[in-house]
Amino acid sequence: MSYHRLLQRQLRRHLPDASQQAALAPLLAAISQVYAQSDYDRELLERSLDITSQELIERYELAQHSLQELERSQADLQHSLSILHATLEATGEGVLVVDTRGHMRQHNPQLLQLFQLPGGQLTPQKLLSHILRQLRHPARHLRHLRELWDQAGASSAGELSLRDGRHLAFHTQPHVLDGEEIGRVWSFRDISSQHQNELLIRHQAEHDGLTGLANRGLFNQRLQAALERAEQRQWQVGVLFIDLDNFKLINDSAGHHTGDKLLCAVAERLQGALREDDLLARVGGDEFLVLIDCLDDPDLAQRVAQRLLDVLRQPLLVDGKRLWVHASLGLAQYPEDGRSASELISRADMAMYHAKSRGRNNAQAFSPVLEQQVLRRVDLQSQLQGALLRNEISMVLQPKISLADSRIVGAEALMRWTTASGQHVSPMDFIPVAEQTGLIVELGDWILQQALEWLASQDDRQLSVAVNLSARQLEDPQLPQRLLSWLSLRNLEPQRLELEVTESMLMSNREQASHFLEQVRNFGVRVAVDDFGTGYSSLNYLRWLPIDVLKIDRSFIHDLNRADDARAIARSIMNLAENLRLQVVAEGIEDPEAAAFLIDMGCPLGQGFWYSPPLSIAAFAERLSIPIPSIMRPAAG
């Protein structure tokens, strides 16, 4: 109800006369207008209050929501910070955050432990000083640090070596906020164990597992570096190639365990005789290389080689046993013998083999003549490959004589090589090449079959044939069965075949040689020891090896008329053979005086140029048909 209507009701109550009311009409109209305006103003105010109240409610609700979001953000931030803090605490790496002035802004306990830092804040100078004092190369890392600060946005990683022997890996990257670098984050990890493992793996890759010496790979690296220095400074470098002469014999007889200990003892003995800067390497079973650097004296390498020979001539004590081992040494020097590592090693190797050919237990220096000999061996090897197919290999027979009546009782089958060009190649040249290359197995099979074929063709069934075996053939487990097959195929009595082996072959692998000889002996084949008296110093092997014949070496026969000791040795061998019930054959009878002496001593068999040189099959047949006259008359042809 409006105030205007209320006023009209009051006027009608107090002024019943209508004329009176009409007189008040203008007043009432003005009042009514006032009341209407008041109602309108009130309505506007109410509407305005409603709108304002709604806006306040909305703003309140928005403020409440923002406050809740802020609280959640603060909680999330606290959670993230707690995770970051826990991560920093739990990680095995040391973490350091510094600002652009080097002040510590954050770190974890691992950092303090890694660098043994005191707790609390450190000034940039003290922090840097404390860390640098622990480094092996502080100046290098300080330069690196300055470079990083000068390169905005640069990251880096590397390794720190500490004075206490530890190794730390580090990684650093800039700390950036709103595109601006405000500091750096560093992480450090202890990699000492990994570093030790890498050193161990590298050491194992570069060193011999048995002796701990350098291996061939490391030796080549050091030699190459030495040659580069020598070229710059105009000095010499020496390479020694060492091969133990009788190691295989000791290894096979005493066992591999003792052999390994012997190699370690040899390595220690050699190392002790070298200068501190010299390098000793084991590059094979019983082969060693020595690098002699900084040679300003051309004779120094020779003196070192002789010193090494001297120390090896002293016995070595292994498992309570005194063992003697000798060596052959070859020497090559930069620059006269070669300018590359491979040339020097190869030429030292050539010189070492020359030392072996000179009787072993000595040192020889490389010379161009040696290289020519090696090239000739290579050429011989190439030609020898197809010599059998080209029918260039032939068999000759040297008669074996009954000294008492000058009868031919057998022959020794020997190989001869005549090339397609008509060149005669000495067995002294091509047999060693065949043995080194393995061709001796094929040639050995060939000469055995040729000898048996010849024997089967002879009417005199008392004749025998002797064939030399090589060390390679003794290692062939199938050869005994092949021999039995060849004998059966030709219907030959096995005892008519005699296999000749040397003392050194027998002793280089006693078990293998014994097994081989026992097999062929069981077939009935006879076994002879060739060059007896020049090889192994112990005669004990005569007791356990299956042997039928001793062949007195030609060196004793040659000196029968010149040296009493040669006659004494020959007589001793004959007495030994008689006591062991072994047959004796004297080799290399070249004059009637030697023949007469052997007959007087009662030597039953002999061979040599005094009686006959090696003959072709046809010439041998002819000689068989002619009785050999008195020993005082030299043989023809």
pLDDT exceeds cutoff 70 at 508: no
* pLDDT per position as a tens digit, 170-190: 888 888 888 788 888 888 888
Same fold, 203-366 and 391-625: no
- Given this model, what pLDDT does residue 533 score? 65
Sorted by sequence, the CB contacts under 8 Å of residue 305 that are 6+ apart come out as 240, 329, 331, 363
- Given this model, what pLDDT does residue 604 score? 94
Question: Could you report how far apart the first and last alpha carbons of the chain are, in Å?
Answer: 170
Sign of the torsion formed by the C-alpha atoms of 376, 382, 384 and 390: negative
Domain ranges of the chain: 90-195, 203-366, 391-625
**Tokens 């197995």 found at:** 441
**Tokens 């059966």 found at:** 488
**Tokens 């946005």 found at:** 153
Collapsing DSSP to helix, strand or coil, 229 comes out as helix
Collapsing DSSP to helix, strand or coil, 137 comes out as coil
Mean pLDDT of all residues in 532-540: 61
Per-residue confidence band for 366, with pLDDT thresholds at 50, 70 and 90:
very high
Per-residue confidence band for 33, with pLDDT thresholds at 50, 70 and 90:
confident
- Given this model, what pLDDT does residue 2 score? 52
DSSP state of 496: G
Per-residue confidence band for 121, with pLDDT thresholds at 50, 70 and 90:
low
By the 8 A CB rule, do 410 and 624 touch? no
Residues in the chain: 637
> Which CATH class, in words, describes the domain spanning 203-366?
alpha beta
Using CA atoms, how far residue 335 sits from 213, 267, 296, 506, in Å, is 26, 28, 12, 42
Q: 0.85 exceeded by the pTM?
A: no
Per-residue confidence band for 537, with pLDDT thresholds at 50, 70 and 90:
very low
pLDDT exceeds cutoff 80 at 586: yes
**Would you tell me which CATH number, out of the four given (3.30.413.10, 3.20.20.70, 3.20.20.450, 3.20.20.140), belongs to the domain 391-625?**
3.20.20.450
DSSP state of 214: B
Per-residue confidence band for 90, with pLDDT thresholds at 50, 70 and 90:
low
Mean pLDDT of all residues in 296-301: 82
Domain 90-195 has CATH 3.40.50.11540: no
